Amino acid sequence: MCPAVKPKGLLFIISGPAGAGKGTLRKILFDEFPDLVYSISSTTRPLRNGEEEGVDYHFISMDEFRALVAEGAFLEWAEVHGNFYGTKREDVEKCLERGDDMVLEIDVKGCVNVKKKIPEAIRIFITAPSPEVLYKRLELRGTETKEQMTLRLRNAEDELLCSAEFEHVIVNDCLKTASSELLDLVRSYRSRKCSGGKK
Ligand code: 5GP
């Protein structure tokens, strides 16, 4: 149990190439720690089959996105694979001030920008053992066209180059191993927070 006065919340940022299994690992993380808060991004990307407004994303128009950028509503925003995505500043600040721990799932450019503003953020890079595995997983997912898959894989090369800057890297080869690595890591940060940083 945490002390009566809650310390500031922790900010975990999950990032990595398309096909690495971020979504699956995030689901496992929230099943284990249902009190974590997920930051629902705003995006101009069209809704995919099975996605829900306000659950997966806030799906907004390009004009709405521009207006939010102009009013400084985003902690960070980026163009990723040809669509725009942004994290609302107020959502993150309020959550952390309340003492709740939050998870962002954003691209590597977004990670760089959040880290500049919130240096204590914990970045976790999730990747697959090889580009071939990424490709296979994207094919199996079947949510992208061939062109979109090629673009996502080309972007994966740049994303991999940035992984060295992350606090943690998890190679999702075997899901069981990768998920227990992720759960152990989050558990250990959270228990350190509750003990006031003592090991
Ligand atoms: P997808 O379209 O597959 O849901 O997401 C595409 C990419 O956009 C993923 O790498 C995802 O992590 C990233 N992304 C989602 N939300 C945000 C956000 O708010 N900011 C940034 N910078 N990237 C995001």
- Ordered structural domains, the chain, with CATH: 11-193 (3.40.50.300)
| H helix intervals, the chain | 22-32, 62-70, 89-98, 108-117, 131-141, 146-162, 175-194
Rounded to 5 degrees, φ, ψ at 176 are -65, -45
Please indicate whether residue 78, judged by its CB atom, sits closer than 6 Å to ligand 1. yes
**Would the pLDDT of 15 be above 60?**
yes
Tokens matching residue 66: 């521009």
What local confidence, expressed as pLDDT, does residue 152 receive?
A: 87
**Would the pLDDT of 3 be above 80?**
no
DSSP 159: H
Strand partners, 38: 103
**Strands of the sheet with 37-38, listed across from one edge:** 37-38, 102-105, 11-15, 122-127, 168-171
Q: How far is the centre of ligand 1, averaged over its atoms, from the C-alpha of 182 (Å)? A: 19
Q: How far is the centre of ligand 1, averaged over its atoms, from the C-alpha of 51 (Å)? A: 14
Query: CB of 59 within 8 A of CB of 43?
Result: yes
Please indicate whether residue 107, judged by its CB atom, sits closer than 6 Å to ligand 1. yes
Atom of ligand 1 nearest to the CA of 74: 19
Please indicate whether residue 85, judged by its CB atom, sits closer than 6 Å to ligand 1. yes
Residue labelled with tokens 């999950």: 14
What global pTM score does this model have? 0.92
Atom of ligand 1 nearest to the CA of 110: 22
Q: 108 exposed, middle or buried (CB, 10 Å; 0-12, 13-18, 19+)?
A: buried
42-80 tens-digit pLDDT: 999 999 989 999 999 999 999 999 999 999 999 999 999
Query: CB of 104 within 8 A of CB of 96?
Result: no
